Structure 1
Amino acid sequence: MLVLNIFVALFCAVLADASRSQPKRPAFYKDSKHIIELNPSTFSDVVYGSNYTTIVEFYAPWCGYCQQLKPEYEKAAKPGHHYAQFAAVNCDEEQNKQFCQSQRIEGFPTLLTYRPPKTFLDSTPRSQQYAVQTYENERTSSGIVRAMKGMVKSYSKKLSLLKLPKFLSSVDSNSLPKVLMITDKAQNSPMYKVLAVDFKGSLEFFHLTINNDSEKVLVRDSIPEIAESFEVPSLVVVSPTDGVIAYEGEMKKTPVAEFLTRFGVPVEGDFSERNEIIQGIKKGIYKSFKDYKKKAKKAKKENLEKDEL
């Protein structure tokens, strides 16, 4: 404990001395579309409230190495935000200094990843169940994106061709809608894994691998709703109310996610309430998730009072 206290004191002294000797600079990512600047009021909800892995850059604006990393980090976040949360903490800000110490930040920039478990335990605080690691891969945009793709957990179940007929028929009014990706790949794509994260608890995700044309014919015979000359990958939804619906759009995350909102409510991703809150925090509309809930409750009350009039 004594050693830790000495380290914290030295860290504070070094940081304070460096800060005093440098002109005050603005936060790097305040206006970034895909990176959120965090502080002690927002960190827990953003990082520990997600089933995404979050990569966080701890930095100081006066740091030369941080300035070198900035364009690569921004470039990585543009495609990478589909697979992970990209965040940053400005350790030069007074409100963040103690928090940076608590994360054992010894130099700038430090990149840490916070990876959630596949299943959370009710008996353990959520924040204690994340695997926190120093990012030690390439600090290039491509290297960061590749690493984040590799950290996406899979919630999709493998389906065999033999079980396809039963899969299509075993849907009742109490069942969740089922999403099926038909592919010729042995592994799920990061995009499909992320969709399963976004709709976790609202839709069930499955994947079926076909290896040749004869298996493709069997799939087509089992699912007449898909095009006769369908290509892989293809996606269908088996809905308790609407039956089998084939997706006919571009196989990219945003249009597929929008299609899936017809059948389930996303808990994360572009079309979720959570994303609305995060965007509001970035724009300064809300100070935190707690602030959002407070304002939403107030707005609801005011609307009810208007309706009564």
Structure 2
Amino acid sequence: MTEIVCPTCAAVNRVPPEKPAAEARCGKCHQPLFTGTPAELTAGTFEKTITRSGIPVVVDFWAEWCGPCKMMAPEFKKAAQAMEPAVRFAKLDTEAAKAQAAAHGIRSIPTMILFKDGREVARQSGAMPAGQIVQWVRDAVRG
């Protein structure tokens, strides 16, 4: 069983290996667990998402006022579409979740952190195109 945190209601779902994760729905809110769109995390859902997910989670730390963040957003979405359901892509607004950004040492944005089993395994600052994001995640997951 793989645990997947619902991007809509943050319920933890157990997805059996024989069930295609791309088609799985949340047992609580019945929404799809994967939509090809990065999950919008909050201060309240961030920790649960990175610690309870049975798959790697890539978090884009961003802010509304950040030009490079806005430029990278469609590329991050393309990377999510290419890699889900093997990897969860999520975004955390550093202005709305200042404590989480500070706790993870975010000094510049956009910064992406790849979490596996709740631990940081890779970090990348600066805007990147989708192909580079996908390659960075693949390299980090393998390493």
**Deviation above 2 Å: which 4+ runs of structure 1?**
135-138, 146-153
Distance 2:106 2:41 in 1: 15
C-alpha distance in 1, partners of 2:114/2:61? Answer: 11
Correspondence list, 1:1-309, <5 A? 33-93=36-96, 96-116=97-117, 127=118, 130-135=119-124, 139-152=128-141
2 CA distance for matches of 1:149 and 1:111? 14
Higher RCO structure (Cα 8 Å, ≥6 apart): 2
AA partner of residue 110 (structure 2)? P
In the alignment, structure 2 segments of 5+ residues that lack a partner are 1-34
TM-score of the aligned structures, taking structure 1 as reference length: 0.32
Q: For residue 141 of structure 1, what is the amino acid of its counterpart? A: A
> Could you tell me how far 1:132 is from its partner in structure 2?
3.7
Structure 1 residues 111 and 63, CA gap change in structure 2 (3 angstroms): same
TM-score (norm 2): 0.65
Distance 1:151 1:44 in 2: 21
Q: Deviations over 1:206-230 (max 9, x none)?
A: xxxxxxxxxxxxxxxxxxxxxxxxx
Where does the alignment leave 5 or more consecutive residues of structure 1 unmatched? 1-31, 117-126, 154-309
- Cα deviation 1:243-285 (Å, max 9, x = unaligned): xxxxxxxxxxxxxxxxxxxxxxxxxxxxxxxxxxxxxxxxxxx
Aligned-partner Cα distance in 2 for 1:63–1:137: 11
Indicate if the aligned counterparts of 2:69 and 2:127 stay in contact, CA closer than 8 A: no
Q: Which amino acid aligns with 2:62?
A: Y
Query: Contact 1:112–1:135 at 8 Å: present in 2 too?
Result: yes
Amino acid at match of 1:46: T
1:56-110 deviation per Cα after TM superposition (whole angstroms, max 9, x unaligned) = 11111111111111111111111122321101101122xx112211111101111
User: Which structure: greater helix fraction?
Assistant: 1
- CA shift in 2, pair 1:49/1:88, >3 Å: same
Deviation at 1:137, TM superposition (A): 9.3
Distance in 1 between residues matched to 2:61 and 2:39, nearest whole Å = 12
Q: Which has the higher strand share?
A: 2
Superposition deviation, residue 33 in structure 1: 4.5
SS at match of 1:142: helix
Contact kept in structure 2, 1:63 and 1:108, CA below 8 Å: yes
Name the % identity: 25
Aligned-pair RMSD on alpha carbons? 2.3
CA distance 1:151–1:133, shift in 2 (3 Å)? closer
Q: Give distance in 2, aligned partners of 1:58 and 1:134.
A: 11
Secondary structure of the equivalent of 1:48? helix
Asked if 1 retains the 8 angstrom alpha-carbon contact of 2:61 and 2:110, the reply is: yes
**Helix, strand or coil for the counterpart of 1:112?**
strand
